[in-house]
C-alpha cells in the first residue's frame, strides 16, 4: 500500500530543534506506579522557567499537586497515563 502525502500540508510548520528532548518513564513509590515526563528544552524556551509555567498549567487542569500529579526535580509525575499524555501534547 502506497501512501501519498501532499507536502503542502506541512508548509508553515516550523519544527524547533531540541537542546534536551522530552523524556518519559515510569517510577514506583509507596503510592503506586507513576508515569513521569521531563519537558523538552529548545532554543526558544531555554531562558524561560518552563517548570513554573507547566506547574501552573497542571494546577489549572488537574488540581493542586498531590497523589494525582506532582513535580520534583523538573520532572512531572502523573498517576494516570492519560494525564501524562495530555501534558506531553501541551508542552511538546
Q: What is the pLDDT of residues 76-91, one digit of tens each?
A: 999 999 999 999 999 8
For the chain, helix (H) and strand (E) counts, in that order, are 2, 6
Please state the domain extents for the chain. 20-91
Q: What is the pLDDT of residues 10-65, one digit of tens each?
A: 566 566 666 778 899 999 988 789 999 998 887 776 667 888 999 999 999 999 99
Cα 51 to Cα 3, 17, 40, 47: the distances in Å are 40, 19, 11, 12
Domain 20-91 fold: Translation Initiation Factor Eif1 (3.30.780)
| pTM summary value | 0.75
What is the rounded CA–CA span in Å between residue 26 and residue 61?
21
- Position 92 scores a pLDDT of 78
Amino acid at each position: 500500500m502506497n501512501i501519498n502525502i501532499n507536502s503542502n500540508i506541512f508548509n508553515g510548520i516550523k519544527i524547533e530543534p531540541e537542546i534536551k528532548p522530552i523524556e518519559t518513564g515510569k517510577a514506583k513509590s509507596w503510592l503506586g506506579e507513576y508515569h513521569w515526563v521531563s519537558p523538552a528544552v529548545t532554543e526558544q524556551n531555554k531562558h524561560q522557567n518552563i517548570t513554573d509555567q507547566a506547574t501552573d498549567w497542571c494546577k489549572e487542569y488537574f488540581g493542586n499537586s498531590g497523589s494525582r500529579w506532582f513535580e520534583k526535580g523538573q520532572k512531572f509525575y502523573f498517576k494516570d497515563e492519560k494525564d501524562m499524555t495530555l501534558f506531553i501534547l501541551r508542552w511538546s
